[in-house]
Amino acid sequence: MDFRIYGDKSLLQDAQNVITDLEKKVSVTDSDSEIYKINENGSGILSGGADTLMKNALEMCRRTNGALDISIYPIVKAWGFTTGSYQVPDEETIQTLLTKVDYTQIQYDEASGNERYFEQDGHTYWHIMDPATGHPAKSGLLSVTVAGDKGGICDALSTSLFVMGLDKAYDLWAKSDDFEAVFVATDGTVYITDGLKDIFSLAQGYEDTSVKILTR
């Protein structure tokens, strides 16, 4: 990657530092990167910069109806573009790998009690606090994902709805028109608001999960 900077040369170093830091987080070939570990383990946590990149990438996948699909890595690897061992894969290999390419199977949770937590004396405590109690929120929810046009609003809502719990969160959604949401309850039930019903799907291995649609 080439940079051309007009002005203070320190800006060039700043730009290089940002790119280097992000590369360390999202590289698919670096075993220490966050993305590499997610690919290996099936789930994980993305830190600052990488999480924003993931959100924006998934949004572009949706907007282009899959013309951009960030889960294409198995295909790219088969062609040798990530290893340097360039080759034209046989069609059978390509068709097999294509079954693993589907960005809609990627679940990104904005607020989750599993993001940061610790265990003490047999209890689990997570980082999302209830302002009314001063303790970690116990709302009957495991995670909340919010979709809307304004990322900052969605980020704030995801935490707020997690604290509120399903019933109060539903009431807020029902009288709003600027966001949709997915709620995962502690019993494993998934609740999705009406605006997401046509684009929501369960990840492979979770097809038997109970899904309920919330309507106004």
Give long-range contacts, CB 8 A cutoff, 24+ apart: 74-78: 74/100, 74/101, 75/101
Q: Which residues contact 126 (CB under 8 A, 6 or more apart)?
A: 113, 114, 115, 116, 117, 136, 137
Going by pLDDT thresholds of 50, 70 and 90, the confidence category of residue 3 is: low
Tokens 């990167």 map to which residue?
A: 33
pLDDT of residue 84 exceeding 90, the answer is: no
Most confident listed range (26-35, 44-53, 126-135, 185-194): 185-194
Phi-psi region of 115 (alpha: psi -120 to 50; beta: other; left: phi over 0): alpha
| pLDDT at residue 194 in the model | 94
Q: Which domains are delineated in the chain?
A: 10-103 (1.10.3980.10), 111-214 (3.10.520.10)
pTM: 0.51
